[in-house]
Amino acid sequence: MDNTRVTLIVGATGAAASRILERGRAQPGQTLVGLSRRRPPGEEAWIAADLEDAPRLAEALATRPDISRIVYASRAPHGETGVEDVPGNLRMLRNLVDAAEASLPRLAHVHLIHGAKWYGMHLGAYRTPSREDDPRHPPPNFYYDQQDFIAERQRGKAWVWSTSRPNFVLDVAPGRARNMVSTLGAYAALCRELDEPFDFPGTPDTWGALHEVTDATFLAEGVLWMLGEPRCANRAFNMTNGDAFRWCDLWPFLAAQFGCRPGGVNVRSMTLWSAGKEAVWERIRARHGLALPLDQVASWAFFDFFMGMDYDVLCSMTAAREAGFQGFVNSWTMFSGQIEGYRAAGILPPR
């Protein structure tokens, strides 16, 4: 075993972390260990521990003293749409770092997965394309507290830190309703079943604004690159697909992918529109043998959240490119591929 390349993925059952685990294990010379409160069935390289239980967390980490790198992808369980729990998120990270410094003598790198909410994209219009050294918006923002903590804790130590800032991480993740592709797909299927056009529920300004997303596998590749690149030490990097789209251009393409009649702008709350549509979904589900009920496929509150962004949502990838990262993803191809992935998994109906 190469002890310098044993990586712990904290929150390893989450949307982003599960792809990091998968991609890392596919690379030669790496050992990846997952950490979550419960060990998934069939997993051997795993630590079951609660980040809120500091003494037992330290005991659990002590069973793997060969770990040298940590990817932190956990969040306090109080929602991800707006302002999140600052004390809870900071406490969990502090407990982990305390345990790591006490139990992992080979500790070399701690990476935190953050996001574009660093720039205030959840609060309203902000400066774009956002750069990693842009001024902070007024708090609260737990990303700030976590990065300040890790930077201060690292001072004078042999290990280093880094952070990634993706934006709307998309993946084929059956059972995770808070996902743009599965939610759009459920909406499209309901529109088709009801013989309604696939209307755009956001505002005219949202319709025309520039937006971006991050493919989960692409993020995984970026994080693994940061762990092995000395130029990333003690720095933050945006990590998005590297292109941008306007809904007014993408929407007809999505309609064609879903087999719907394309519609126009029709401002409405998707939380209200979806109320009572479970029976309609069950008809679709029965006809096509789909695996999951509607509430496990679509998050309507999340839909309202990203449709409410009537301003540009765009990050600069210049810093990562200057540091040597050349990856990119065609977002249109990604949407098409993930739609097919959800169909293959029996989550969305065929076109």
pLDDT-derived band at 3, boundaries 50, 70, 90: very low
Is residue 331 packed enough to be buried (19+ CB in 10 Å), middle (13-18) or exposed (0-12)?
buried
When pLDDT is averaged across residues 143-171 and rounded to a whole number, the result is: 98
Structure tokens at 147: 């990065």
Backbone φ, ψ for residue 211 (5° rounding): -135, 165
Rounded to whole angstroms, the Cα distance separating 238 from 119 reads 11
**Residue 245: beta bridge partners?**
211
Q: Which domains does the chain have, with CATH numbers?
A: 3-166+215-238 (3.40.50.720), 169-212+244-316+328-344 (3.40.50.720)
Question: How many residues make up the chain in this entry?
Answer: 351
Rounded to whole angstroms, the Cα distance separating 234 from 51 reads 23
Q: 90-105, pLDDT tens digit by residue?
A: 999 999 999 999 999 9
Structure tokens at 189: 């299927």
Rounded to whole angstroms, the Cα distance separating 133 from 235 reads 10
Structure tokens at 196: 């309604």
Structure tokens at 204: 């005219």
Chain-centroid distance of CA 260 in Å reads: 28
Q: 63-118, pLDDT tens digit by residue?
A: 999 999 999 999 988 655 567 899 999 999 999 999 999 999 999 999 999 999 99
* Region at 263 (left for phi over 0; alpha for psi -120 to 50; beta for the rest): beta
Asked whether 140 and 86 are in contact (CB, 8 A), the reply is yes
pLDDT at 174: 96
Q: For the chain, what percent of residues have pLDDT higher than 70?
A: 97
Q: Which of 78-87, 192-201, 226-235 has the least mean pLDDT?
A: 78-87
Residue with tokens 């790496």: 30
Closest CA to 243 of 162, 347, 167: 167
Closest CA to 265 of 194, 207, 211: 207
Chain-centroid distance of CA 146 in Å reads: 17
Structure tokens at 210: 């520039």
Q: 307-348, pLDDT tens digit by residue?
A: 999 999 999 999 999 999 999 999 999 999 999 999 999 999
If you write DSSP's letter for every residue of 278-296 in order, what string do you get? HHHHHHHHHHHT-SS-GGG
Asked whether 202 and 310 are in contact (CB, 8 A), the reply is yes
pLDDT at 84: 82
Rounded to whole angstroms, the Cα distance separating 155 from 2 reads 27
Chain-centroid distance of CA 323 in Å reads: 22
pLDDT at 81: 55
Rounded to whole angstroms, the Cα distance separating 299 from 186 reads 10
Rounded to whole angstroms, the Cα distance separating 13 from 288 reads 28
Closest CA to 74 of 2, 126, 124, 16: 16
Q: How many CB atoms lie within 10 A of CB 208?
A: 15
Give me the sheet containing 160-165, strands edge to edge.
46-48, 31-36, 6-10, 69-72, 109-113, 160-165, 235-238
